[in-house]
Amino acid sequence: MPLRQRNIIRYASILAVILEVVAFAGLAQDSKIDSLKNLLTAAKDTTEIRILNQLSESLRRKKPLDGISYGEQALAKAEKMAFKPGMVLALHNLGVAHGFNNDYPRALDYFLRSAELAEQDKLFKSAANDYTNIGSVYSVQGDAQKWLEDYLRALKIYERIGDKKGMGSVLYGIGNSMLSEKNTIWHSKLFQIDSIL
């Protein structure tokens, strides 16, 4: 068999395996969602809130409106029970889902509420994650000043709790944005970063 035909067969085989893996991953996700829905029928109290939050998290990107629905249910139940970790996660999930639904004002509102509640309840990693998301919303809206302020707020929290992965993620985001930005706003921001840190 000529070399060209062997290469075509090899690439076709590799492509077939990749497609099977992708299809399996999609089925596994659907299976997870189905399993969570089944568990939800018998769940009570904080377990029900956790499952609703898992469903919201699983669906917030792929089907944002479904993610919003489960997030709202989780938030309502968590508020009724005054279960703050459940409230923080529900607010966060709602922010992400609204972001994927291109509703940035509502995403921003949910992230701000989540960050405030997370800090009050000393859930600092969640708060830092929310500030990063708040910064991302401002970035999409073209507000570089507020974007940078919230990224730096997240960085300070990650430093305080010693989360090196979080610090690296924020610093990478800042650096990547500065490298890709074509205007001169970042030249003045470099000096602000040093004075803030």
pLDDT in tens, 130-185: 999 999 999 888 888 898 899 999 999 999 999 999 999 999 888 877 766 554 45
Q: Give 9's pLDDT tier (boundaries 50, 70, 90).
A: low
How many domains is the chain partitioned into structurally? 1
Of the two residues 6 and 115, the one the predictor is more confident about is 115
Domain assignment of residue 154, given as a range? 123-197
Judge whether 20 lies within some domain. no
Helix axis angle, 124-140 relative to 144-161, nearest 10°? 160
pLDDT of residue 177: 73
Judge whether 35 lies within some domain. no
Q: Give 17's pLDDT tier (boundaries 50, 70, 90).
A: very low
Residue 50 has pLDDT above 70, yes or no: yes
Judge whether 9 lies within some domain. no
Residue 190 has pLDDT above 80, yes or no: no
Check if the beta carbon of residue 74 is closer than 8 Å to that of residue 94.
no
pLDDT of residue 16: 46
Judge whether 102 lies within some domain. no
How far apart are the C-alpha atoms of 129 and 176, rounded to whole Å? 18
* Sequence-ordered alpha helix ranges (H) in 41-163: 45-59, 64-81, 84-100, 104-120, 124-140, 144-161
Judge whether 107 lies within some domain. no
Judge whether 180 lies within some domain. yes
Judge whether 147 lies within some domain. yes
The pTM score is 0.75
pLDDT of residue 45: 87
pLDDT of residue 27: 42
Residue 14: C-alpha distances to residues 9, 17, 18, 146 (Å): 9, 5, 6, 46
pLDDT of residue 151: 93
Judge whether 197 lies within some domain. yes
